[in-house]
Amino acid sequence: MQEELEDYILKHIDAEGDDLRRLNRETHLYHLRPRMCSGHLQGRMLKMMVRMIRPQHILELGTFTGYSALCLAEGLADDSCRLDTIEIDDELEDFIRAHFDASPLAPRINLHIGDARDVLPTIEGDFDLVFIDANKREYCQYYEMVFPRVASGGFIIADNTLWDGKVVDWGKKLDAQTEGILRFNDMIAADDRVEKVILPIRDGLTIIYKK
């Protein structure tokens, strides 16, 4: 997206709020790869999707510094709904918890530190919405792992599915992350148990509806 067009969009959508603005700034100040933070536009999109889907239980794979989790939690109807979010990098835990604890949305969020493959079996219940934004090499495995626990009529949203355009222009060397995204996109395209669409927002969001 052209920078001027993105600036125009940001001026004409809801503000991200002070908590999210502070989290975004501190992510850029103190962490490597701050581009992994969802940011203003995608954050408002995630909140709006939650408003439309009206889930009772959300699962997020890949918390990073917590921006997307706060946006997802913001869209929930009330504190009776919950978000379970899993982050593998334990060095991020203190930063994430500090921002979650400072938010009025804290009662809606359960943070789990560890490998999603180990943590997921410990989380009770099925999910109305799953947001996948973790290791791109493992997207297919994550999908197969969560699919049985997504309610019929539920949604899976996968981030980074256009992967900086590398899905169509990866050149002679196919890196492991791009290969993982390509496998995932092909698998979803062939899965007749779901309806799917890719939105060219930021780095690509795939919206998957379980029939």
Structure tokens at 67: 């921006």
Residue 18 has a CB neighbour count (10 Å cut-off) of 8
pLDDT tens for each residue of 22-45: 999 999 998 878 888 999 999 999
pLDDT tens for each residue of 51-110: 999 999 999 999 999 999 999 999 999 999 999 999 999 999 999 999 999 999 999 999
Q: Quick check: 124 pLDDT over 70?
A: yes
Q: Show the DSSP H helices in 54-175 as ranges.
A: 67-75, 93-101, 116-119, 139-146
Give the largest Cα separation in the chain, rounded. Answer: 50
Whole-angstrom Cα distance, residue 182 to residue 166? 9
Q: pLDDT value at position 174?
A: 81
pLDDT tens for each residue of 7-18: 999 999 999 999
Contact 144, 130 (CB under 8 A): no
Distance of CA 168 to the CA centre of its chain: 22
**Residue type at 143?**
Y
Q: pLDDT value at position 171?
A: 67
**Residue type at 87?**
E
pLDDT tens for each residue of 144-181: 999 999 999 999 999 999 998 889 886 667 889 999 99
Structure tokens at 44: 């408002």
Q: pLDDT value at position 3?
A: 84
Per domain, the residue ranges of the chain are 3-210
Distance of CA 140 to the CA centre of its chain: 15
CATH number corresponding to 3-210: 3.40.50.150
Burial classification of residue 37, based on how many CB atoms lie within 10 Å of its CB (0-12 exposed, 13-18 middle, 19 or more buried) = buried
> Model's pTM, two decimal places?
0.94
Q: pLDDT value at position 33?
A: 85
Q: Backbone phi, then psi, for 173, in 5-degree steps?
A: -105, 120
Q: pLDDT value at position 145?
A: 97
